[in-house]
Amino acid sequence: MLMIKKITYYSVVTCFILFAISCKVQSVNAEDNAPMVLQGPAWAAAWQQKAGEYKALCYQAYNLAHMQLDFLMREPSEKPYAIITDIDETVLDNSPYQVHLALQNAEYSDASWIEWTAKVDCDTIPGALSFLRYAKSKGVSVFYITNRLEEERNQTLKDLKRWGFPDTIDNHLTMKTDSSSKELRRKKVSDEYNVLLLMGDNLGDFSTVFDKKSVKERNHQVQDHAAMFGTKFIVFPNVMYGHWDGAIYDYKYDLSPNEKEKMIMQSLKKY
């Protein structure tokens, strides 16, 4: 009788272990099979957080901005000088948010994004702080134009202030209102200031000619404005998100992840 009880006990334990392993395997497989629009940004975040190449590109962009600023300030101006910069992935690093989404097998939502920014826990983009402090020391005003929502104003200012970014005051920070286009907000600054440089990670940070255009048109406009990049427009790398991927699936953000992945894969060159 004792031997039978032992056999029964070990059989139950063995079945439980096998069941747990089976559940773990199924969970891993479910993650492995997640569409790349969910898992891809996590790999991009890994590159942003760990790759020396990413940091080198950021330093390269800010070194170029430094040289251009010195060059452009040689020309006298009736208006005071200014720089317009984006915030996310231009001066502040939001890669932990993308990792969080991937672990949840989730896409962007305003609610989850606001939850992240409320933490006031962004790192800085390499080179951002030293360059903007240098610009301010030369008498150049800094304006932050972001597509964060108005309800994120306080936490955004807190995040910028805790690092010591210059001009972190209300009238130098413009949030998204009724449009994601930044054209009118840029014009408001340029009406009063001589804007020397525009800085951002998305083409929409520079001109309305890039707003909500197709992949073909975006690339065509980049070619047409090639002389502006590195002289007036300073671009920062961001492979986690942006209008570059939205353009591939025609900005149909309400499509399912699988539908988006299908459109992306169909658009790619292959052999």
Q: What is the pLDDT of residue 240?
A: 97
Please report, for the domain that includes residue 90, its CATH number: 3.40.50.1000
Total number of domains in the chain: 1
Question: How far is residue 198's CA from residue 46's CA, in Å, rounded to a whole number?
Answer: 27
pLDDT tens digit at each of 271 positions of the chain: 434 333 343 343 334 333 443 444 333 344 557 788 899 999 999 999 999 999 999 999 999 999 999 999 999 999 999 999 999 999 999 999 999 999 999 999 999 999 999 999 999 999 999 999 999 999 999 999 999 999 999 999 999 999 999 999 999 999 998 889 999 999 999 999 999 999 999 999 999 999 999 999 999 999 999 999 999 999 999 999 999 999 999 999 999 999 999 999 999 999 9
Other residues' Cβ atoms within 10 Å of the Cβ of residue 124: 18
Q: The pTM is what?
A: 0.87
- Helix, strand, or coil (residue 241): coil
Residue 233 lies in a domain: yes
Q: What is the pLDDT of residue 124?
A: 98
Residue 147 lies in a domain: yes
Q: What is the pLDDT of residue 35?
A: 87
Specify the residue for token string 């097998």.
Answer: 105
Question: How far is residue 117's CA from residue 153's CA, in Å, rounded to a whole number?
Answer: 10
Residue 8 lies in a domain: no
Residue 17 lies in a domain: no
SS3 assignment for 154-217: HHHHHHHHHHCCCCCCHHHEEEECCCCCCHHHHHHHHCCCEEEEEEECCHHHCCHHHCCCCHHH
Residue 5 lies in a domain: no
Strand 194-200 versus strand 233-235 pairing type: parallel
Q: What is the pLDDT of residue 162?
A: 98
Residue 7 lies in a domain: no
Question: How far is residue 152's CA from residue 182's CA, in Å, rounded to a whole number?
Answer: 17
* CB neighbour burial string for 14-31, b if at least 16 within 10 angstroms, e if fewer: eeeeeeeeeeeeeeeeee
Residue 95 lies in a domain: yes
Tokens representing 208? Answer: 């309305």
Q: What is the pLDDT of residue 36?
A: 85
Q: What is the pLDDT of residue 32?
A: 56
| Range(s) of the domain holding residue 148 | 34-267
Backbone angles phi, psi at 195, to 5 degrees: -80, 110
Specify the residue for token string 């149909």.
Answer: 252
Residue 123 lies in a domain: yes
User: Within 13 A of 22's CA, how many CA atoms are on the CB side?
Assistant: 6
Q: What is the pLDDT of residue 160?
A: 98
